[in-house]
Chain A
Amino acid sequence: MNKTYLIFRHEFVNTVKRTGFIIMTLVVPLVALLGIGIYHTVSGISKPVAEAEKVGYVDKAGGFDQFTSQGKITLVLFNNPDDANQALVRKEIKEYFVIPPDYISSGVVSRYTMQKELYPPPAVMNAINTFLLKNLLAGEVPAATAARIEAPLNLVTVTLTASGEVAPEQGGFGSFVFPGIFSLLLVLAIIFSSTYLLQGLGEEKENRLIEILLSSVSTGQLLTGKVLGIGTAGLVQVVVWVGSAPLLLNLASSSIGGFLSTVQLPAGFLILAIIYFILGYLLFAVISASIGAVSSSSREGQQLITIFTLPAVSPLWFISLLMMFPNNPVWIGLTIFPLTAPVAVMIRLGVTDVPAWQLAASIATLVVSIIAVLMITVRVFRIYLLMYGKRPGLGKVLVMAFKG
């Protein structure tokens, strides 16, 4: 049987049987489930008035007597603040506000409530706002105009293609959902897979199993088997996460259903997602392997790999800037720089159209980097895997790589 396949099978089976792997595979959907649960609970608590509510008011300016029913909030008129205050104490009303005589000139309205709060509840604010607006405009302008003043802008943006046709994919937050989630999963998969690879190599190096392995197979077979075996396990993890998405979205749709109907997959996203997942994983896998070879213990390896995984995650830190300025030269740089490319491209695909030349340049630099790191790794692998307890400097590694 092919030895690369034997190592692949061994690495795959042993990775998916690891307790850490199983926990991580289950934890991501569970955390998402928990998130949805918390969202439901919180939004349930602060839901805009589940039952009809009464809010009192005292009109000292005069003329505010119509439109007292605002959705589920009913506005109850009191003759003076004392009456309103007593009604509040008796809990007949939830709160009250006073429109002073100089309201027209000052705009000041005093609100009285027994709740301690940072900010008035939006539902109450809206109700008072609309009530005041409608009463101010009553009789002055036609009803339709009053309604327009209340909500003057209902913006509908249509994205056109280069030829002026309506674009099939209209962008917006809806098309950012998949790339956003995918880039996060990509980062998680890259970090976990490179951790497994490092731990495995560290263990084999520490207990000298590496010598038995290298006396049985070639460096190329060992590296290929390991990278593909652990990579496939990482892919299985992502498939489980993505597979649980429909269930989670279904659960989530009861609360954010309106938004979910706008979710769409950007054109060509799936193909690019697969390409970048594979290239991104391969790059970090070969980097992990070379770090595993030169570091003296798996703990030291974990510290060193962080230097490389931080750039991979970095586009996520500046995601809001990316959303505002998706075509800034900095983002173009991150798209082409191999360490940041996988995540930067995923996010940008959700926000804007990434020009083909940038994708081509980014894929090309990734492929070249993978080949270059792989060549260096294969050359230094044997030498440094057998040097226990001392880690060579970067200069020495490069000299070794070129000397062979």
Chain B
Amino acid sequence: MIDRPVTGQGNKALLEISGITKSFDHTRVVDNISFDIRPGEIFGLIGPNGAGKTTTIRMVMDIIKPDTGQVKVLGEILSEATKDNIGYLPEERGLYKKLTVMQSLLYIASLKGVEEGRARQRAGELLEHVGMAAHRNKKVEELSRGMSQLIQFLTTIIHEPRLMIMDEPFANLDPVNTELLKEMLFELRGQGRSVILSTHRMNEVEELCDRIFMINKGRGVLYGELKEIKSRYRRNSVFLDYQGELGELKGVATRREQPGAAELILEDGTTPGQILEQLVRRGVTINRYEVSTPPLHDIFLQVVGESHE
């Protein structure tokens, strides 16, 4: 157990962002963005470079103030006290090089209001959990890049925050540590904590996120359940693994076939269910029947492309 479960928060939004806007030098970097984060979810904040993700995160973290709009954490306007409920892993990692692993963890924990005895105990448990207990007295400058990133991750969760904001948390990690981190994120979600994941890696978003918010040129362009968004952008086609003869199918515009497999592109107005019905009637043995949804990567490119037009 890397954290204690969160209790007594119901389904109230952990974070509410309402109409925040930020301009630098007369350029609107974030333009009227609103979304909320619910307890126990991994939320993807995605968008191309320069879209306004980092500025949004900095406003959530109270590092910079929005020009208009507001940010509420646990129902309260963001203040010094509410900051202790948030953990932040910036994209570019930074720790004091001359401090030891333990000193780094304790200093950040103390700034987040954790009492020293508890911080020491938590730090010990977390180091044990990620297999770095032996390195507790090493200076940060002696660690490998991946190791110091793990430590940075631990500084983000040492104070048991309800909300964590992680900017590209898997960059520089080897596959073993990537899996370890993913497991920890799921564990945190299971305890009712929430994670905002800002990343360019769409496969990670698909694997981890429950809901997403996509930002492009400072504006929100996609927001909602990942499944719902994918279904909204699905192509009207099905994938099929089968045995037997397909024959002519009503409502299929084109088909791409390989021995024992096919992708059927449906005509407008034809549903996957109607095709399945025809196949069953013909006695075709179906090993796989899957409504095709485009990978998030394609949706991302499509949405960014549309907003460029």
User: A residues within 8 Å of B by Cβ?
Assistant: 1, 3, 6-7, 10, 14, 203-204, 207-218, 221, 382-383, 386
Contacting residue for A382 out of B64, B88, B110, CB 8 A? B64
Q: Which residues of B contact A209 (CB under 8 A)?
A: 94-96
Q: Which residues of B contact A221 (CB under 8 A)?
A: 80
B268 interface hit (Cβ, 8 Å)? no
Contacting residue for B90 out of A1, A7, A211, A382, CB 8 A? A211
Which 10 A-B pairs rank lowest in CB-CB distance, beginning with the nearest? A207-B94, A209-B94, A215-B61, A216-B111, A208-B94, A208-B92, A215-B88, A214-B63, A211-B90, A6-B110
Q: Is B107 touching A386 in the complex (CB atoms < 8 A)? A: no
How far, in angstroms, from A53 to B159 measured CA to CA in the complex? 83
B230 interface hit (Cβ, 8 Å)? no
B129 interface hit (Cβ, 8 Å)? no
Apart from A211-B94, A212-B108: 16 A-B pairs, beta carbons within 8 A: A3-B111, A10-B107, A14-B98, A14-B99, A207-B93, A208-B94, A211-B88, A212-B90, A212-B94, A212-B155, A214-B62, A215-B63, A215-B83, A216-B84, A217-B80, A382-B65
Q: Measured between C-beta atoms, what is the minimum distance from B297 to chain A in Å?
A: 28
Q: Which residues of A contact B111 (CB under 8 A)?
A: 3, 6-7, 213, 216-217
How far, in angstroms, from A3 to B63 measured CA to CA in the complex? 16
Q: Which residues of A contact B64 (CB under 8 A)?
A: 382-383, 386
Q: Which residue of the partner chain B has the closest CB to A17?
A: B98
Contact with A along B52-78 (1 / 0, CB 8 A): 000000100111110000000000000
Q: Is B107 touching A207 in the complex (CB atoms < 8 A)? A: no
Q: Measured between C-beta atoms, what is the minimum distance from A212 to chain B in Å?
A: 6
Q: Which residues of B contact A6 (CB under 8 A)?
A: 107, 110-111
Q: Is B61 touching A211 in the complex (CB atoms < 8 A)? A: yes
Q: Which residues of A contact B155 (CB under 8 A)?
A: 212
How far, in angstroms, from A214 to B111 measured CA to CA in the complex? 10
How far, in angstroms, from A41 to B127 measured CA to CA in the complex? 60
Within 8 A of A (CB), among B191-223: none
B86 interface hit (Cβ, 8 Å)? yes
Q: Is A382 touching B63 in the complex (CB atoms < 8 A)? A: yes
Q: Which residue of the partner chain B has the closest CB to A7?
A: B111
Q: Is B80 touching A212 in the complex (CB atoms < 8 A)? A: no
Q: Which residue of the partner chain A has the closest CB to B88?
A: A215
Q: Measured between C-beta atoms, what is the minimum distance from A210 to chain B in Å?
A: 8
User: B residues within 8 Å of A by Cβ?
Assistant: 58, 61-65, 80, 83-84, 86, 88, 90-99, 107-108, 110-113, 155
Q: Measured between C-beta atoms, what is the minimum distance from A380 to chain B in Å?
A: 12
Q: Measured between C-beta atoms, what is the minimum distance from A138 to chain B in Å?
A: 78
Q: Measured between C-beta atoms, what is the minimum distance from B165 to chain A in Å?
A: 8
Q: Is B58 touching A211 in the complex (CB atoms < 8 A)? A: yes
How far, in angstroms, from A221 to B58 measured CA to CA in the complex? 18
Q: Measured between C-beta atoms, what is the minimum distance from B54 to chain A in Å?
A: 9
Q: Which residue of the partner chain A has the closest CB to B79?
A: A218
Q: Which residues of B contact A383 (CB under 8 A)?
A: 64
Q: Which residues of B contact A14 (CB under 8 A)?
A: 96, 98-99
Q: Is B58 touching A216 in the complex (CB atoms < 8 A)? A: no
Contacting residue for B58 out of A7, A213, A218, A386, CB 8 A? A386
Q: Which residues of A contact B98 (CB under 8 A)?
A: 14
Contacting residue for B108 out of A207, A208, A216, A386, CB 8 A? A216
Q: Measured between C-beta atoms, what is the minimum distance from B191 to chain A in Å?
A: 22
Q: Is A218 touching B90 in the complex (CB atoms < 8 A)? A: no
Q: Measured between C-beta atoms, what is the minimum distance from A295 to chain B in Å?
A: 18
How far, in angstroms, from A216 to B85 measured CA to CA in the complex? 10
Q: Which residues of A contact B84 (CB under 8 A)?
A: 216
Q: Which residues of A contact B99 (CB under 8 A)?
A: 14
Q: Which residues of A contact B110 (CB under 8 A)?
A: 1, 6
Q: Which residue of the partner chain B has the closest CB to A221?
A: B80
Of the A-B pairs whose beta carbons lie under 8 Å apart in the complex, a sample of 7, sorted by A's number, is A208-B90, A210-B94, A212-B90, A214-B61, A215-B61, A216-B83, A217-B80
Q: Measured between C-beta atoms, what is the minimum distance from B217 to chain A in Å?
A: 20
How far, in angstroms, from A386 to B94 measured CA to CA in the complex? 14
Q: Measured between C-beta atoms, what is the minimum distance from A207 to chain B in Å?
A: 3
Q: Which residue of the partner chain A has the closest CB to B112?
A: A216
Q: Is A215 touching B108 in the complex (CB atoms < 8 A)? A: no
Q: Which residues of A contact B91 (CB under 8 A)?
A: 208
Q: Among the interface residues B63, B84, B95, B97, which one has the most CB atoms of the partner chain A within 10 A?
A: B63
Q: Which residues of A contact B86 (CB under 8 A)?
A: 215
How far, in angstroms, from A382 to B66 measured CA to CA in the complex? 12
Q: Which residues of A contact B62 (CB under 8 A)?
A: 214-215
Q: Measured between C-beta atoms, what is the minimum distance from A104 to chain B in Å?
A: 80
Contacting residue for A207 out of B63, B88, B95, CB 8 A? B95
Q: Which residues of B contact A208 (CB under 8 A)?
A: 90-94
Q: Which residue of the partner chain A has the closest CB to B159?
A: A216
Q: Measured between C-beta atoms, what is the minimum distance from A217 to chain B in Å?
A: 6
